[in-house]
């Protein structure tokens, strides 16, 4: 067991001991506040009602990441809800990051969901505006956008720090959430972007994850301005990275995914490679190598949509963890005991079904019953 195992001894699914100065009782906040280089990733939400689909998709990250983003219908495509994914993940002890987008729900629904998520053990929340409905599979839907990402953050902060709803009504137990936001240094107006981060921090952001970074010089410029403003000391900044599968997907993403900026040089490099997929991974690792050295970068956020199995490889090969092993689900002592006795339990002639139990109980003399 490593010195920082970050698990509640009474059960992995329970929140950790509260620490002074921590907003949440979660693992991600502990890792970041200890100054360790954090790694988060994104779970591809299933189009299914089977919890196993979520667990299978989470298992590929075991031991490689400190947090898993549960996306809220990203790209306005319908999938299992982020709150549902979070609830499943916390049961197993994972540290999900609950994404909330303003596109689909109004302030009443969102505040209720935040309480529900907190009650289910969710410790991290990421506030997003959300892509427009036109980007998704159901463009006929009504866009809500009642709050925007900043007023959403202020709302959650009010709930957490002042223990009340937006209306002023009191909460009996406020949600202890580590609050995050998204940044996109790669979209205009470029000189406003660092100030917008300042605004997000003012609204309550404690960590931010960036959009895919394929243009390191641009990100470096952004970080220079962020450092000039002193923002890296007020907020943990995680750089978004991810492998591209081919030059064709890169072109497609550039044209169709809002806010993704891919320089021509990147596409040329992919095109020139014999094995584009390998090169995409290589490129991702190269980018990680560069961004991890930029002052003020507290971690990376690996988005490997439909290639989640490569996250472990990318994190390993880039060496960002420096030998640290993030938390992974392990069988507890009593589970191990059951596993050891499984043979005995299965092969002993035991009463199995409720019917059998009932028959036995009725057959036995029982003075108390009439």
Partner 1 sequence: MSDQTHRAMIPAAGQGRAPQAKAPRPGGPAQVARPGRGYAVRLWSVRHARALEWFYRRFARTVLLLHPLWSALGYGRVEKPMRFVERRVKGFMFDCRMCGQCVLSSTGMSCPMNCPKQLRNGPCGGVRANGHCEVRPDMPCVWVKAWEGSRRMVQGDAILTVQKPVDRTLAGTSSWLRVTAQAAAERDHRKDAA
Q: Please give the residue ranges that form the binding site for partner 1 (CB under 8 A).
A: 102-103, 107, 129-135, 140, 142-151, 154-155, 166, 182-184, 187-189, 191-192, 195-196, 198-199, 202-203, 211, 258-259, 261
Shortest approach of partner 1 to residue 141 CB, angstroms?
9
Q: Nearer to partner 1 by C-beta: 13 or 196?
A: 196
Q: Nearer to partner 1 by C-beta: 134 or 356?
A: 134
Q: Nearer to partner 1 by C-beta: 90 or 184?
A: 184
Q: Nearer to partner 1 by C-beta: 60 or 229?
A: 229
Q: How many CB atoms lie under 10 A from the CB of residue 251?
A: 15
Shortest approach of partner 1 to residue 191 CB, angstroms?
8
Name which of 31, 59, 32 is nearest 43 in CA terms.
59
Q: Nearer to partner 1 by C-beta: 81 or 129?
A: 129
Q: Which residues share a beta bridge with 297?
A: 237
Q: Nearer to partner 1 by C-beta: 55 or 145?
A: 145
Q: Nearer to partner 1 by C-beta: 140 or 323?
A: 140
In the structure encoding, which two tokens stand for residue 152, read together?
């959403």
Backbone angles phi, psi at 22, to 5 degrees: -95, 140
Shortest approach of partner 1 to residue 204 CB, angstroms?
9
In the structure encoding, which two tokens stand for residue 37, read together?
């280089």
Shortest approach of partner 1 to residue 202 CB, angstroms?
6
Shortest approach of partner 1 to residue 257 CB, angstroms?
9
Shortest approach of partner 1 to residue 92 CB, angstroms?
31
Q: Nearer to partner 1 by C-beta: 256 or 359?
A: 256
Cβ atoms of residues 254 and 260 within 8 Å: yes
Shortest approach of partner 1 to residue 109 CB, angstroms?
14
Q: Nearer to partner 1 by C-beta: 133 or 177?
A: 133
Shortest approach of partner 1 to residue 345 CB, angstroms?
53
Q: How far is CA 160 from CA 133, 178, 201, 251, in A?
A: 30, 10, 15, 42
Backbone conformation region of residue 121, classed left if phi is above 0, alpha if psi is from -120 to 50, else beta: left
Shortest approach of partner 1 to residue 108 CB, angstroms?
12
Q: Nearer to partner 1 by C-beta: 112 or 259?
A: 259
Question: What does the alpha-carbon distance between residue 235 and residue 216 come to, in Å, rounded to a whole number?
Answer: 20
Shortest approach of partner 1 to residue 270 CB, angstroms?
19
């Amino acid at each position: 067991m490593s010195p920082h195992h970050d698990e509640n001894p009474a059960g992995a699914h329970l929140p950790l001991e509260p620490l002074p100065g921590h907003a949440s009782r979660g693992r991600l906040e502990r890792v970041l506040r200890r100054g360790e280089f954090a790694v988060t990733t994104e779970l591809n939400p299933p189009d299914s009602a089977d919890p196993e689909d979520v667990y299978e998709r989470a298992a590929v990250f075991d031991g490689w990441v400190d947090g898993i983003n549960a996306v809220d219908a990203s790209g306005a495509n319908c999938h299992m809800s982020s709150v549902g994914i979070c609830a499943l993940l916390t049961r197993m002890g994972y540290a999900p990051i609950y994404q909330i987008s303003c596109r689909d729900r109004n302030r009443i629904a969102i505040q209720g969901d935040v309480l529900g998520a907190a009650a289910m053990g969710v410790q991290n929340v990421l506030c997003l505006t959300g892509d427009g409905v036109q980007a998704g599979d159901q463009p006929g839907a009504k866009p809500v956008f009642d709050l925007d990402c900043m007023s959403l953050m202020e709302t959650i902060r009010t709930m957490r720090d002042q223990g009340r709803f937006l209306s002023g009504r009191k909460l009996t137990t406020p949600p202890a959430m580590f609050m995050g936001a998204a940044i996109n240094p790669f979209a205009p107006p470029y000189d406003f972007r660092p100030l917008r981060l300042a605004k997000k921090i003012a609204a309550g952001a404690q960590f931010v994850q960036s959009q895919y970074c394929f243009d390191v010089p641009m990100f470096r410029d952004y970080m220079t301005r962020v450092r000039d403003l002193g923002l890296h000391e007020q907020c943990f900044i995680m750089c978004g990275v991810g492998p591209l599968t081919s030059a064709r997907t890169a072109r497609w993403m550039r044209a169709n995914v809002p806010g993704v900026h891919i320089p021509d040089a990147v596409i040329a490099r992919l095109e020139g490679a014999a094995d584009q997929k390998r090169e995409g991974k290589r490129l991702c690792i190269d980018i990680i190598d560069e961004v991890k050295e930029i002052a003020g970068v507290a971690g990376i956020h690996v988005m490997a949509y439909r290639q989640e199995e490569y996250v472990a490889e990318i994190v390993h090969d880039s060496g960002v963890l420096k030998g640290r092993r993030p938390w992974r689900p392990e069988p507890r002592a009593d589970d191990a005991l059951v596993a050891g006795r499984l043979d005995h339990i299965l092969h002993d002639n035991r009463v199995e079904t409720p019917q059998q139990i009932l028959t036995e109980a009725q057959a036995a003399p029982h003075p108390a019953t009439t």
